[in-house]
Structure 1
Amino acid sequence: MSLFMVQNQCKLTNGSRIARKGGSGEKLMILGVGITLFGHLGQAGGPDPLSLVSGADSFRVMLEHVRRLMGAGCENNSHDIKHQLTMCNFRHLRQWITIMYPSSLTLSELIRFTHIKVDAANQASQLLEWVQGRMSETPVGHPDRPAYLVESSGLLGRRYEETGDLKDRDAAIQTTREALELFSAHHPTNKTHVVHPDRPLYLSKLRELLSRRYLKTRNLKDLDEAIHIAQWTLKLISEEDPPDKTPAGHPERRVYLIELSKLLGQRCIETTDLQDLDGAIHAVREALKLLSAEDPLKEMPARHPGRQVHRRLDLSRLIRLLRHKYRITRNLQDLDVAIHTAQEALEHISAEDSPDKTPAGNPEQQEYLTELSKLLGQKYVETSDLRDLKASIKTIEKALNIVSINPESSGSLLPQDGVMSEQVDEIMPAARAAHEGNLTAADRHDRAARLQSLSELLASLYKTSNDPHDMQRSIQHGKEALELTPVDDSYRASRIQQLASCFQLKHSRMGDPKDLQAMHQLYDASFKTQTLPESPEESWRAAISWDYYSFQFQHTHVPAAWVAAFQLLPDILWIGDNLSIRQNTIRRLNLGYATSSATTAWLGQANVPAAIETLEQGIGTIFQQILQLKPDTSELPPEKAKKLQEISSKLYQETTDELSSVASQRKKLLQEIRSQPGLESFLRPKTYKALAQASQGGPVVILSTYSDHSDVMIILNPTSDPVHLQFDNVSREELNAQRTILKELLRRCNVRRRGESVSTRLFGMREGFTTKTTEEGFAELLAWLWMNVVGPVYEALKSNGVTNGRLWWLPTGEFTGLPLHASSPTSQFIHSYTAALGSLLEAYVKKPSKSPPKLSVVAVTHTGPGGRNYLKEVAQEARKIRSVVSDIECLEGEQATPDAVQRQLQDCSWAHFACHGMQDLEVPNKSHLLLYGGALELGTILKMPLSNAQVVFLAACQTAMGDTELINESFHLGGGFITAGFRGAIGTLWSMNDGDGPFMAETVYSELFKLKRQPRASDAAAALHLAVQELRARNVPYERWVPFIHMGI
């Protein structure tokens, strides 16, 4: 008990000393006594937090004395001492604690402060019930009501931390908003019309709640509001300061500046807006000024730990922001500013060091030296100025000497850009000294990290010195680091890979086969560790390096490298990230190139099934992830099946803001499921035997490109071995040339959107282009496809006894978007496309709707006032469909709003869209169909529950053409409808002619619904095949009949 009182009295003494300048020392002293007694009650009152309140009678005298001295409007409600204790003692405790700590204190925080150990969620619930009960008895205009609201907000936030209930988080935000509204100078209950002095504190609470919600949801609206509040708070505290006191005097100003800097820096990461970055830099600079201006820390000695910590953190943040600005601008002036700031930080540390303490003993100096060496190394890369390189060397040397005295840092000492010395003699002694210092460290984790850093350093030295002794020691320290790393440590994989890279470097210089073998063994072991690597992307890059080196020296190891890389994809393309993040990751990884390289590697080993398995993992990855969120759980135990369905539903519908957390729960659950006998392969990549079932309706032809040739893999049927063809005359360059020709032909025809003019379709209008007509251009393009791709495939099918029927194309890479289906001079096959074998399998697994076919028609002639061009044939198209289909629901004109269309789609089995469509190349999931008054986006389509869906006819624009940078993802509207639940889709590679809409619709649906029979989803391909043949028989130009394609079963 006495110790607790002494601890509180010590805190009180510091608080009163700091506040004495403002004349509130005596008040704080009295308040400290109350805090001490309150803490004593907390120790004696048992685990029930409400006992803190119920024992308030014992402190009546103390409370009255505190209230009189503090004079903050605590009214003497003698009938409710609990209320007095809560509203007076807690309120002023927040004022006291604000001076000591950079945050205000709520009721829930006070419980933590008094060291009470109870169930946090239960504690928060009990206190919340009491506070809300008191609030319900407090009149709306009562001055204590805002404080009750803030206490409620704090307790709701505390309970959210413990339970994860999103309702509590959102309620905490809303409650804080209500409190702030009451604090407004213009609120009717505010008789004085003066801003409440606690308003900045409560604004900071709202800012914190919004910024924390942003980190979970990544909703930029929350981040924008948090930034606005931070800026507003700084303005408020500036206005509150009296004329004779500078704004810097507010005790919270530095904290608010740093928080504003953090928020602006975060928004810059999201938007790359340099104004935000400059604002973040300015805010940190202002915060640094406060450490030498009028602020509560001024009276601290220069070497006081609190002052040093603030300055170090602020300087580190400033240097990081300046480095980030340089990375965006690539302006050497920005890099020079970053270098100058790091040098100033070092000078400041040197000035503060006592005469009897060597600079090498200051751990802060090591941090700044390491940062400065990276900056100088980067400048050398840009300028090739040897002076920068020498400065970088000396800086590293100093950092290494600090390591020999302070073995605390575990970070790598090398510049991230790999800039190393050509002056080997200068840096070598520092490395030797660092080695000796590291060997004396006791902590295993830190020691392993330091040894790894030293191994990296010596390997880099070897690149310039060619001294075998340096490489030998690099390998030795790498091994020691590995020995100190537990088998379940997330850093183990990276340390194995670092050691493997050492042997790779050594083999490249010395050519010893033993080193090559060691490299293979280590890389292989790094991808078999028990724990996921700390950075899956770094491991991906290590696998690429392994593949590249193996391709040069030992081809047999290339497939193993790709197996290792592709097994990381689920963690790199984390399902807990939103679609945009995953799409950007695919671009960054260059996944399309990696997939074709891996496929070629397997084919080089004559392992066609493995090539198909690998290719399937690298194409349509996002759509396949979405399909996995609708799993078949019939094999699972009931409780596991139910839990997986619930979690998957949240991720599929994105009904939770905390996608990453829910995704982690799903990953853990899958691990539990796969640990059970017979379920080891549940939701893992399918084997070739399973994938071959996609050919149950007819052969599937898979096309893959490589730099100097193309490969074709044909799955004839579920039981036969796959067929492999290699086309040496079809290179990636040649395919890109054909794609360019197609693009130019479409430009001539002006077929970007349905309903636009095609008046230039027969003339070569572009200067420098051939004078051939577009008809001749299309004919030559289709002839090239027939002669080099489709014709040889037909011959291979014929030699295997397949001469007609259904045929599916699965094009990847540069084959994507080429009209393979239209190149044959005969009509012996009915062509379809699929984005991946997995999506075709899902279509077969899904059962036909038991109810009679119900067709939903969406006909949008125009999109409302100021909308897109009028589509005059859409109304006629709808009439033609009505004439041949009896059970039809049609949304036309103003009825076809996005909400109405979504409702109707959930009930129908067949759907037809006659409207404008738009492909968004920047954000593919924003691609959309233009409806009346709004748009139906691809992202929305993917979340729709379409249990009855069978076939959709997209008589719109570019509904089967995706982003060229996500070429293997098939991220277009047609693919989206299939992923959402439709078993088949009719779409177009480019925009259709508006006048062809009524004819195509009437012909397709007449064939499907002839003799009033119930059509099957698999009938749609034959119906489209017939309609295209009839349209072609009308001698319409190529650009009108070629674009129509069928997808799915």
Structure 2
Amino acid sequence: MSENALAIWTRAQQTGRLDEVDQAIDLGLRAIAAAGVDHPDRVTFVSNVGTYHLTRFGFTGQVADLDQAIVHLEHGVAAPVGPNHALFRCNLGTTYLSRFEMTGQAADLDRAIDHFTRAVAITLHSTYLGNLGAARWTRFGIVGDHADLDQAIKALHQAIATGDNDPNRALFLGNLGAALHSRYEHTGDLTDLDQAVDAARQAIAADPGNPNLSYFLSTLGTTLHSRYERTGDLTDLDQAIEHHERALVATPDRQAGLAMRLSNLGTTYRTRFDRTGRLSDLDRAIDAGQRAVALAGDSPRTATWLSNLGISYQTRFERTGHLADLDLAVELNERAVAATPDGHPEQGIRLANLTSAYTERHEHTGDVADVDRAIETGRRAIAVTRDEHPGLPAFLANLGMAHHYRYECTGDLADLELAVVRKQRAVALTPADHPDRAQRLSGLGMAHEARYGRTGRVADLDRAVECGREAVALTPVDHPDRALRLNNVASAYHERYAHLGSLSDLDRAVEFYERAVAATPDDHPRLVICLSNLGNVYLTRAKRASSLSDVDSAIATTRRAVDATPEDHPDRSLRLHNLAQAHLERFEQARAGDDVDLAVDLALQAVRTTPEGHPRRGLSLSTLSTAHQARFRHTRSLLDVDSAVTAARLALAATPDDHPNRAARLYRLALGYQNRFDAGADRPSHDELATLISQVDAVRAAPPGDRIMAGWAVGRLARALGEPESARRLLDNAVRLLPSVASRETSHTDQEHRLGGRIGLVGEAIGAHCALGDPGGALEVAEHSRGILLGAQLDSRTDLTDLATTHPELAGRFRLVRDNLNALDLGTDVVERRARLWTEYDALLDDIRSRPGLDRFLLPPSWKELRPAAGEVVVLVNAGWGQGDAIVIAASEPVHIPLPRLAAADVTSWATEMSDAINDPSPLVGELRRQRVVSDLLAWLWDAAVGPVLDVVAPIGRPTRRVWWMPTGRLGLLPLHAAAPRGGPGALDRVISSYTPTLRALAGSRGGAPASARRQLTVALQRTPGLPDLPATAAEATSPQSGHPGTVISDDQVTVNRVLAALPEASWAHFACHAGTDPRTPSEGCLHLHDGPLPIARISRLELHAAELAYLSACATGQVGWRHANESIHLASAFQLAGFRHVIASLWPLDDRTAATAAERFYALMPATSSAAHAPYALHAVTCELRAALPDRPHLWASLVHSGP
């Protein structure tokens, strides 16, 4: 009977008939009963019946069949060891494993592994090894013991190696692929992943008709998906979808694995959407995920399928903005976490997915409870995850982002620090070639930028730019997240521009923001973020360049962002604030009252939509204060100035003591108090002023520019309220910070721009010292704060002879770094390159100063040390707040001369009127206007400044005494040397005048020895492309050459390269050509040559030896920019920096004939020597001759000036 039962069972396996299996069981039971207890084959009969029940389970899926199988098979293994003992144990192990898969009872899995292990110990049969490998891999999936996984892989390798002809070889290969994939998921070893793909492919090829084919296809799809996620190879991703689709087709509708196949397919479709942005893939992902969850039942894999579907819903929310999808994502991930027991290998990833969903919902709704939940679940995810788990970097990045968002809600710096730490570790753990590295770098850059915004540490800004750039470089051009990463790096560049003022950073910010908008679909919810940021950067550029078109673009773009932002969105207040700022800027440029009214209204809306305690509330209040102050200047309504003060107080109260924006808000409050006081309203109390002063002193984290403005505003207020000593101290501190504003890492042009906005500060600080009877202190303030860029360039020209004698190696290194810093600012990484050079420069400087006798190397001298350089008399002239001052520097102590009629506002008014008259293009009216305005200006200068000074230093008599004028601010635009009362003698009749920006510059011009030979260079252009002809230059070119042969370059031979090549050979140089000036950026000024401009920047970087005299008979060669008058940036100073001891230049354009006449007479009066020491006397004589010939046309003779010793 037993043999008949075995034959029927064998046939049933081929026919698939359940009734035949039942017949085999019936015959087997009858065989056992007939055999008796002592029958030698009883053990075999009993074990066979157990095997038949196991087969029946395959047909019915009923646990009762497994129970019966186990009962019979346990009898089989309980008997003494016989020839079939290993087989019986293997069958029993298989049955326990099957029951575990049905019930989830861990004890059954442990028993299965025990029996398989015992079977293998008896004989290394491929089937036993394969079963042992499958069971241990299964237990690893439940318990997470890596020893199980390693042993599973070892057993499966042995099964394949020993079972070349085993009918289950394909299954062993499939299981090996799955096990290797599991190990890859926990170790990140790419070798395991490649081997997993290879094993799955071999499983499919080994037996294409295998009933487990759907399993093999699914395994291959999963491994290819993982390899795409690790390498970014789209081919792997497309093949993964193909194999998952085949696996689904090969899976019967009722098979237990169908839900898993659907979930895997959905996950792979979602991944392809993440890479390509195709919405059809995302819809397929959700459809497959929904079907998987619907089929899940009570499967232990249900939690995985819930989690996968939740991620897909969250992804669709990120693309469409539908909040219902996000709520579903949270719900599904919560259910997945709840269904995952503690210690489960996938617990970490399910917690991390829930963290991400909570964080996303917080970002959209602003609900702090969600971000708190995100942090809690994120911490749990990391706590249950091994350090070597490849998912750990993603978990860390998620938690870091949650901390980042909570910081934005609460302002708690501890959260921001944790965000940086978590994201740093995430990046550190991510391989350089990992596709997710770009995403994690971008997130880290955001955290660094935020920390800069809170602490003011510039190193964070540099790191933000670095991370952002690398993230963009690693992101494929067609990647859907490229726009986000472009946006993030643009934000970092924008922020760094705000701190350092580098125009290259601003240009890159605009470029990257525009690319981000262009790369974002019109229906993408992220578009509003990109639009908001683009509008903001347009506004920044509008302020930098006074560009009304950029303001209009800022308003239009930001309005789109505001209109697309829901009323309850947490970022709406920020976008309203940005729009208010844009309307404010248009009001400042175009003076349209509608704009300032809109700015006030929008700022009010921003305040009302920002909750109390929110970190951005201070920002909205500060902008509201600014808008009210702007409207006060427009309407003079005291209601506006009162509202401005109230908003500024609230903004300051909402700003932490260590916040970088605190100084800017102190400035706003002080300005409001000043405006209210000037308007005749209530003055601030003594206590209010004292509080402001103490707070300015305490601010340390703010950018230098903001600290300067705060100190300036509070200092001015203190002086107005009768606190002169406090005013002096505050203004001095602000002045000391001026060099910090012109960041050395930025270009010369950027440094000019940063300094240009503080032109009145130095004058007020000088006035504060003079008011206290301290002319020496006033002089030191002037000396250390004017010509900052000029002083830096003088430092860069310091003679290194002494250093080279004692420390030649140090001198060589220092010269190399210095020369690199003096090179033109070319390339796209100017800021980074200059930062590296300045770091090296500072280290070398510290090293040099540590050497004996070199402790003062390159430190600025005191004014007393420079006093001998004054020669006869240097006069500092300053137009301050309400009145002016002059300080006379001679061999004795400095002398203060009050100038009560010299106010800064009058200087600005006269400079404006003179500029308008000089540039009036109308032939007759313009000429008459110039005659009148310049005559009136010279008379006012005499009465307000020059007359009172000369009454002290140069009594009436022959003009033999030298005076060097050192005007501050916009006084440098005016001809002090030609001042005269109407109808009477003036400065030309009392002194020989020269100009110097600082005492140090004058000392520098005297430091070089006069030229030993006169080598003349003459450059003359009658015709310059695009500019009016200068017919008199032909005759003018002969003047310097008379008796002094040299090189003449004229007309189309006057090229930039030829002139630069000729200058080093010349000791005297004469330029008769057009010059260009740029009042906003003086260093962009130039000489117009035949083939293009020769800019100030290139001239000033020359190092010419024995250069004696440069005569610049060109348009406005000594004219400085309005915003940069304290910096003395013009062609004359450029030629001085290049090495010329004496420079003749012009404050404004002269007509061609007058310029030629002046040059001819100048050279006729100069001695036939190599030295130009007589230059100031010759120029004085020429000016007097022109005055005698044209007494009523001072605009033709008052322009020429001398600079030098």
- The structure-2 alpha-carbon separation of the partners of 1:320 and 1:958, relative to structure 1 and needing over 3 Å to count, comes to closer
In the alignment, the residues of structure 2 paired with residue 462 and residue 737 of structure 1 have an alpha-carbon distance, to the nearest angstrom, of: 29
Matches within 5 A, 1:1013-1032: 1013-1016=1169-1172, 1018-1032=1173-1187
In the alignment, the residues of structure 1 paired with residue 741 and residue 599 of structure 2 have an alpha-carbon distance, to the nearest angstrom, of: 38
- The structure-2 alpha-carbon separation of the partners of 1:620 and 1:7, relative to structure 1 and needing over 3 Å to count, comes to farther
1:992 aligns with 2:1147: no
User: Of 856, 863, 880, which residue of structure 2 is paired with 1:706?
Assistant: 880
**By how many angstroms is 1:726 displaced?**
1.5
User: Of 550, 563, 566, which residue of structure 2 is paired with 1:343?
Assistant: 566
Letter in 2 for 1:604: A
In the alignment, the residues of structure 1 paired with residue 537 and residue 1167 of structure 2 have an alpha-carbon distance, to the nearest angstrom, of: 62
- The structure-2 alpha-carbon separation of the partners of 1:785 and 1:538, relative to structure 1 and needing over 3 Å to count, comes to closer
Structure-2 residue corresponding to 1:927 = 1085
Structure-1 residue corresponding to 2:480 = 253
Structure-2 residue corresponding to 1:873 = 1032
- The structure-2 alpha-carbon separation of the partners of 1:894 and 1:36, relative to structure 1 and needing over 3 Å to count, comes to farther
1:602 aligns with 2:769: yes
In the alignment, the residues of structure 1 paired with residue 1186 and residue 644 of structure 2 have an alpha-carbon distance, to the nearest angstrom, of: 71
In the alignment, the residues of structure 2 paired with residue 465 and residue 1043 of structure 1 have an alpha-carbon distance, to the nearest angstrom, of: 46
What's the secondary structure of 1:857's corresponding residue?
strand
1:939 aligns with 2:1109: no
Report Cα offsets for 1:710-732 as digits up to 9, x if no partner. 21111123xx1111111223334
What's the secondary structure of 1:930's corresponding residue?
strand
What's the secondary structure of 1:968's corresponding residue?
helix
TM score, norm. by length of structure 1: 0.58
Report Cα offsets for 1:340-366 as digits up to 9, x if no partner. 5553774xxxxxxxxxxxxxxxxxxxx
In the alignment, the residues of structure 2 paired with residue 709 and residue 969 of structure 1 have an alpha-carbon distance, to the nearest angstrom, of: 22
- The structure-2 alpha-carbon separation of the partners of 1:722 and 1:855, relative to structure 1 and needing over 3 Å to count, comes to same
Letter in 2 for 1:882: Q
987-996 or 892-901, which deviates more: 987-996
Structure-2 residue corresponding to 1:724 = 896
**By how many angstroms is 1:992 displaced?**
2.7
**By how many angstroms is 1:783 displaced?**
4.0
Structure-2 residue corresponding to 1:856 = 1017
Report Cα offsets for 1:914-944 as digits up to 9, x if no partner. 1111212343222111112222111221222
Contact 1:599 1:615 in 2 (8 A): yes
- The structure-2 alpha-carbon separation of the partners of 1:707 and 1:253, relative to structure 1 and needing over 3 Å to count, comes to same
In the alignment, the residues of structure 2 paired with residue 465 and residue 100 of structure 1 have an alpha-carbon distance, to the nearest angstrom, of: 51
Report Cα offsets for 1:587-616 as digits up to 9, x if no partner. 33xx22111111111111100011111123
Letter in 1 for 2:975: P
Structure-2 residue corresponding to 1:841 = 1003
In the alignment, the residues of structure 2 paired with residue 723 and residue 279 of structure 1 have an alpha-carbon distance, to the nearest angstrom, of: 60
User: Of 1118, 1130, 1134, which residue of structure 2 is paired with 1:960?
Assistant: 1118
Report Cα offsets for 1:521-542 as digits up to 9, x if no partner. 5544x37xxxx63422222233
In the alignment, the residues of structure 2 paired with residue 556 and residue 7 of structure 1 have an alpha-carbon distance, to the nearest angstrom, of: 79
Structure-2 residue corresponding to 1:197 = none
**By how many angstroms is 1:273 displaced?**
11
In the alignment, the residues of structure 1 paired with residue 821 and residue 273 of structure 2 have an alpha-carbon distance, to the nearest angstrom, of: 39
- The structure-2 alpha-carbon separation of the partners of 1:493 and 1:253, relative to structure 1 and needing over 3 Å to count, comes to closer
Structure-2 residue corresponding to 1:417 = 622
In the alignment, the residues of structure 1 paired with residue 390 and residue 1064 of structure 2 have an alpha-carbon distance, to the nearest angstrom, of: 55
- The structure-2 alpha-carbon separation of the partners of 1:512 and 1:629, relative to structure 1 and needing over 3 Å to count, comes to same
In the alignment, the residues of structure 1 paired with residue 645 and residue 1031 of structure 2 have an alpha-carbon distance, to the nearest angstrom, of: 73
What's the secondary structure of 1:415's corresponding residue?
helix
Name stretches of at least 5 consecutive residues in structure 1 with no aligned partner. Answer: 10-25, 43-51, 71-88, 105-111, 116-160, 163-200, 206-214, 238-251, 290-310, 347-366, 401-408, 421-459, 751-759, 767-771
Matches within 5 A, 1:486-525: 520-521=693-694, 523-524=696-697
Letter in 2 for 1:567: R
In the alignment, the residues of structure 2 paired with residue 739 and residue 375 of structure 1 have an alpha-carbon distance, to the nearest angstrom, of: 35
- The structure-2 alpha-carbon separation of the partners of 1:721 and 1:259, relative to structure 1 and needing over 3 Å to count, comes to same
Structure-2 residue corresponding to 1:883 = 1042
In the alignment, the residues of structure 2 paired with residue 372 and residue 880 of structure 1 have an alpha-carbon distance, to the nearest angstrom, of: 64
Report Cα offsets for 1:70-123 as digits up to 9, x if no partner. 9xxxxxxxxxxxxxxxxxx9999341699699999xxxxxxx9999xxxxxxxx
Matches within 5 A, 1:618-657: 618-632=785-799, 634=802, 638=807, 641-654=811-824, 657=830
991-1000 or 600-609, which deviates more: 991-1000
Letter in 2 for 1:593: G
Report Cα offsets for 1:544-568 as digits up to 9, x if no partner. 2431342215222111101211221
Matches within 5 A, 1:733-752: 733-736=905-908, 738-739=910-911, 742-743=914-915, 746=918
Report Cα offsets for 1:423-462 as digits up to 9, x if no partner. xxxxxxxxxxxxxxxxxxxxxxxxxxxxxxxxxxxxx999
Structure-2 residue corresponding to 1:906 = 1064
**By how many angstroms is 1:330 displaced?**
9.6
**By how many angstroms is 1:515 displaced?**
7.1
**By how many angstroms is 1:811 displaced?**
1.9
1:1039 aligns with 2:1195: yes
What's the secondary structure of 1:288's corresponding residue?
coil
Structure-1 residue corresponding to 2:524 = 288
Q: CA RMSD in A?
A: 6.2
What's the secondary structure of 1:953's corresponding residue?
strand
Contact 2:486 2:513 in 1 (8 A): no
Contact 1:257 1:283 in 2 (8 A): no
Structure-2 residue corresponding to 1:140 = none
Letter in 2 for 1:695: A
In the alignment, the residues of structure 2 paired with residue 389 and residue 7 of structure 1 have an alpha-carbon distance, to the nearest angstrom, of: 63
| Highest RCO, 1 vs 2 (Cα 8 Å, sep ≥ 6) | 1
**By how many angstroms is 1:987 displaced?**
1.0
Contact 1:877 1:1001 in 2 (8 A): yes
- The structure-2 alpha-carbon separation of the partners of 1:861 and 1:102, relative to structure 1 and needing over 3 Å to count, comes to farther
Structure-1 residue corresponding to 2:45 = none
Structure-2 residue corresponding to 1:587 = 756
Report Cα offsets for 1:786-823 as digits up to 9, x if no partner. 34433322220147999732211122234333222223
Report Cα offsets for 1:295-336 as digits up to 9, x if no partner. xxxxxxxxxxxxxxxx7xx77555544666788449988666
In the alignment, the residues of structure 1 paired with residue 1133 and residue 664 of structure 2 have an alpha-carbon distance, to the nearest angstrom, of: 38
Contact 1:920 1:926 in 2 (8 A): yes
Structure-1 residue corresponding to 2:22 = none
Contact 1:810 1:836 in 2 (8 A): yes
Contact 2:1078 2:1085 in 1 (8 A): yes
Structure-2 residue corresponding to 1:570 = 739
Structure having the larger proportion of residues in helix? 2
TM score, norm. by length of structure 2: 0.52
Structure-2 residue corresponding to 1:155 = none
- The structure-2 alpha-carbon separation of the partners of 1:736 and 1:382, relative to structure 1 and needing over 3 Å to count, comes to closer
- The structure-2 alpha-carbon separation of the partners of 1:610 and 1:260, relative to structure 1 and needing over 3 Å to count, comes to closer
In the alignment, the residues of structure 1 paired with residue 1158 and residue 847 of structure 2 have an alpha-carbon distance, to the nearest angstrom, of: 51
Letter in 1 for 2:486: E
Name stretches of at least 5 consecutive residues in structure 2 with no aligned partner. Answer: 1-139, 151-172, 205-226, 238-270, 277-387, 392-426, 429-436, 442-457, 495-502, 541-550, 585-594, 626-642
In the alignment, the residues of structure 2 paired with residue 1038 and residue 497 of structure 1 have an alpha-carbon distance, to the nearest angstrom, of: 43
What's the secondary structure of 1:576's corresponding residue?
coil
Which of 1 and 2 has greater Rg?
A: 2
Matches within 5 A, 1:28-47: none
Contact 1:927 1:973 in 2 (8 A): yes
1:555 aligns with 2:742: no
Q: Percent identity?
A: 21
What's the secondary structure of 1:703's corresponding residue?
strand
In the alignment, the residues of structure 2 paired with residue 256 and residue 848 of structure 1 have an alpha-carbon distance, to the nearest angstrom, of: 61
Contact 1:343 1:372 in 2 (8 A): no
Report Cα offsets for 1:648-672 as digits up to 9, x if no partner. 2222223683323323443455466
**By how many angstroms is 1:695 displaced?**
0.7
In the alignment, the residues of structure 2 paired with residue 390 and residue 499 of structure 1 have an alpha-carbon distance, to the nearest angstrom, of: 17
Structure-1 residue corresponding to 2:346 = none
